[in-house]
Amino acid sequence: MPSLEALRKRLRAAVHRPGRPASPDPPVPADTAELPRVREPLAHRVRAGLAPAALGRHLRRSSRRLAFYVARQVPAVAAGLAASIPVLVSTVNAVRAGWEPAGDDGIILVRALDVLSAHTPLVGQYSEAGDVTSQVVHSPGPMLYWLLAIPVRLGGPSSAALAMGIVNTLAIIVCVVLARRRGGLVLMIATALGIALMCQSLTAEVFHDVWNPSAAMFPFLALVFLSWSLACGDYRLLPAVVVVASFVTQTHLTYLTPTVGLSAIGVAGLIVHRVRDSRAARRTPGRRAPRVLWRWVLIGVVAAGVCWSFPIIDEVEHSPGNLTLIARTVHDRGTTLGPRIGWNAVVRAIGLQPWWLTDPKSEWSRKVSVRTTPSSGSVDSALLMLVALAAIALLAPLRRRLDLCAAALIGLAMCLGLGANAANTPVAPLLAGTLGYTMWWGSQLGLWVWLILAWSLYCLLAGLVRNAAWPRLAPRLSASTLRLPRFAPLLAATLATLAGLGATVAVGQAVAAKERPDSHAKEYAPIAEVGRALDAAIAPHQTIDYRLGALDTATQPMEPALRFVLELHGDRVLAVGSFPRLGPYYELYDRRYDWIVYITANPASHPRHMRLVVRVHFRDRWGPETFSAWARHVPGARG
């Protein structure tokens, strides 16, 4: 960046051109002739005609810098898109199949419609963890609803799945871009290949699902790389770490423990880097002191205040608030599964035949695998990896590789978080069954540990070659007659990058080819048909008493989806028992309603004085199904 004196010379040369006499200074009044001259600011001394030219030069310089930065990120973005092929294919298939919010997805989208309304949600999704204390507990915050609010209002149900697919794709691209920043093209390609391989360990529905355990998975992976970069001194990422950590924590409680560890390591590493740079600047004459962080810290504090404002409001308005109930639930868990299950989870995640390199038969299989004893080979390999991580964390600072130290500490913190989550799960059958999805992020843990160990080994071998072999090879190469062209290194890097991208695309396509349809794909068409019939039968902006008849395993997920369809139609859907999952606004109580809607899977059910709106027949994995919707207009009735 040019100095102030150089800028003054340029302006002087531009104003006083050769061959053009400079305009004389105006006469100085007699009463001020003896006073010292005060130099006017630089902006005041620039002629008005030079301002557009200076602005144009600034814009051209900025555009060149932006174009150069974008060009530098093209390989990383391309690698991120290649790694995202399973996510992209899954999202496109879901939209083509007419995705509908079956099960808990319908509850989430109803609350997303409530964002910025008179009953905007202050907390997150209903959590079964409250069964331990017999209290209604929700996830910490509503940021998942904020994310889906605009897509749901503008595009309907399928837009929510599309939005989650885009968010997950962007999270993968962030991981690959940051991997390149930390380790160049080698780590970039390794990360892209690893993410594409990891996708085989998850069902395709996870890649676009709005269900909160699924929605936080890839943002959590992005948080791992963001925290690593923050620990390496990349202070501009502090606000991003705050926002992503808040989103992941508020979306599901299973990410609370690892997120706290990641954030602490990131902040601690940033402080270490700042202290080291400040000391180096004081010891070295002429070395520029590190920039002040207060602006980025202030932005991070403001971002944290915005993200956690609604949970804090809930804590103030209610006694006890949701955060207090979460603390009580964590403290009073009752009998838990214990350390053995926690250790099994860590072994399954990082030991030989890890979760992230396996294709599970079912998305719920991990609740069974953590209860079975791993093989001795898996246990020994997991112990070896933990010892290796600890050794890297201790020895890397001696070689001034704080990046490897931070990466190893992140791996250890994630292992501790996964083991703690599994060990502290209550033994109640319903809650113990949640291991089927709370262990999903064990795939991200296994990917990270294997990636960091491989990267550390690569750095060690590269250092040995550079320090031992290269001093002996360099004189021979310089004395040889072989002369490589100047563009040879660039050509080699380009060919290696293209080869890595090709391998990532091949792996991504192979994983995407094995994807199975969504678990509720057979219900999508019946939900859409029943929803259209109810919209046609009932005028918009009505209050509805929503009643349920007999629903079996296949048709029960259709109930929340139809509730969302009616809410999207502009109706207010009231029902008995809505308070725990949706809040008091949707509870029937003694409120007036205009319509009664009754849904059932019993073909013999015939409610009295109600009109059949639609009856659909379909077949799913459970066999043939029949679903009916009935309605009756009862203006002014009370619950």
Phi/psi for 568 (5° steps) reads -65, -25
Q: How far apart are CA 593 and CA 545, in angstroms?
A: 6
pLDDT in tens, 25-78: 445 444 444 444 444 444 444 444 555 666 667 677 766 776 666 667 889 999
Q: Give the pLDDT of residue 381.
A: 96
Q: Is the pLDDT of residue 192 over 90?
A: yes
With tokens 């590190």, the residue in question is 290
Tokens representing 238 are 């502090």
Q: Give the pLDDT of residue 45.
A: 45
Among residues 600, 615, 605, which one has the least CA distance to residue 555?
600
| Mean per-residue pLDDT, 194-209 | 95
- Non-local (6+) Cβ contacts of 44 within 8 A are none
Q: How far apart are CA 385 and CA 382, in angstroms?
A: 5
Q: Give the pLDDT of residue 131.
A: 74
Least confident of 66-75, 144-153, 502-511: 66-75
| Mean per-residue pLDDT, 438-446 | 95
41-75 burial string, b = 16+ CB within 10 Å, else e?
eeeeeeeeeeeeeeeeeeeeeeeeeeeeeeeebeb
Q: pLDDT band at 287, cuts 50/70/90?
A: low
pLDDT in tens, 453-465: 999 999 988 888 7
Rg (C-alpha) for the chain, rounded Å, is: 31
Q: How far apart are CA 357 and CA 350, in angstroms?
A: 10
Give Cα 78 to chain centroid, integer Å.
19
Q: Give the pLDDT of residue 60.
A: 72
- Non-local (6+) Cβ contacts of 444 within 8 A are 198, 217, 220, 221, 224, 356, 414
Q: Give the pLDDT of residue 483.
A: 62
- Helix/strand/coil (H/E/C) assignment for every residue in 273-315: HHHHHHHHHHHCCCCCCCCCCHHHHHHHHHHHHHHCHHHHHHH
Average pLDDT over the chain, rounded to an integer: 87
Q: Is the pLDDT of residue 9 over 70?
A: no
Q: Is 19 helix (H, G, I), strand (E, B) or coil?
A: coil
With tokens 């008493």, the residue in question is 545
Q: How far apart are CA 31 and CA 94, in angstroms?
A: 84
Q: Is the pLDDT of residue 249 over 70?
A: yes
Tokens representing 2 are 């040019």
Q: How far apart are CA 213 and CA 439, in angstroms?
A: 10
| Mean per-residue pLDDT, 158-180 | 96
Instruction: Name the percent of the chain lying above pLDDT 90.
Output: 67
Give Cα 363 to chain centroid, integer Å.
20
Least confident of 27-36, 305-314, 482-491: 27-36
Q: Is 506 helix (H, G, I), strand (E, B) or coil?
A: helix
Q: pLDDT band at 288, cuts 50/70/90?
A: low
Among residues 183, 264, 279, 272, which one has the least CA distance to residue 223?
264
Q: pLDDT band at 363, cuts 50/70/90?
A: confident
Residues 83, 85, 90, 91: what is their CA dihedral angle, to the nearest 10 degrees?
90
Instruction: Name the percent of the chain lying above pLDDT 70.
Output: 85
Bin 541: left if φ > 0, else alpha if -120 < ψ < 50, else beta: left
Q: How far apart are CA 228 and CA 270, in angstroms?
A: 10
Selected residue with higher pLDDT from 50 and 82: 82
339, 420 in Cβ contact below 8 A? Answer: no
Q: pLDDT band at 333, cuts 50/70/90?
A: confident
Q: Which helix (H) or strand (E) holds 631?
A: strand 623-638
100, 157 in Cβ contact below 8 A? Answer: yes
| Mean per-residue pLDDT, 576-587 | 92
Q: pLDDT band at 595, cuts 50/70/90?
A: very high
- Helix/strand/coil (H/E/C) assignment for every residue in 574-626: EECCCHHHHCHHHECCCCEEEEEEEEECCCCCCCCCCEEEEEEEEEECCEEEE
558, 132 in Cβ contact below 8 A? Answer: no
- Residue 247's alpha-carbon distances to 136, 183, 219, 236, in angstroms, are 21, 27, 8, 19
pLDDT in tens, 120-130: 999 999 988 87
Q: Give the pLDDT of residue 405.
A: 96
Q: Is the pLDDT of residue 283 over 80?
A: no
Q: Give the pLDDT of residue 479.
A: 55
Packed helices 488-513 and 85-96: angle between N→C axes, nearest 10 degrees = 40
Q: How far apart are CA 546 and CA 99, in angstroms?
A: 23
pTM of the predicted protein model: 0.87
Q: Is the pLDDT of residue 470 over 80?
A: no
